[in-house]
Amino acid sequence: MTGGEVLSLGAIAVSGTICALVLRRQTPELSLTLSLVTVCILLWHSRRAFGSVLDLFGQLAQLSGLSLELLTPLVRTVGIALITRLGSQISRDGGMGSVAAFLELAGSAAALVTVIPLLQAVLELMEGLLL
């Protein structure tokens, strides 16, 4: 992602935020909708960067000789964390603090479930080293 692209994302974020703040006093529902649309636009424009990061993870796995079975839980956990953070912040902006808190709890549980294969592989490795 180039500096110009980051600058464009920043401009979109600031513009969407200012518009949402102006609308918040008169129509809070429309303000929240505008926030969601702004996030979707930012995610859409960031998709190449996310793809590049995934490609990098694949290259690192190939160069290091790590199995994709070990790398996949890590990538999924990062994705869960990003989605959880984004969803909880949007929920808080919409005045739904309890929904945000539950989403964070659910995201933590999902992340733990996702890394179970990685933890099992580490335990097997440790067992092999000890025996």
3-state SS record for 57-121: HHHHHHHHCCCHHHHHHHHHHHHHHHHHHHHHHHHHHCCCHHHHHHHHHHHHHHHHHHCHHHHHH
Q: Which amino acid is at 56?
A: L
Confidence class for position 131, pLDDT limits 50, 70, 90: confident
Query: What's the pTM?
Result: 0.72
What span, in angstroms and rounded, lies between the C-alpha atoms of 15 and 17? 5
- Which tens digit of pLDDT belongs to each residue from 66-102? 777 777 888 889 889 999 999 999 889 888 999 999 9
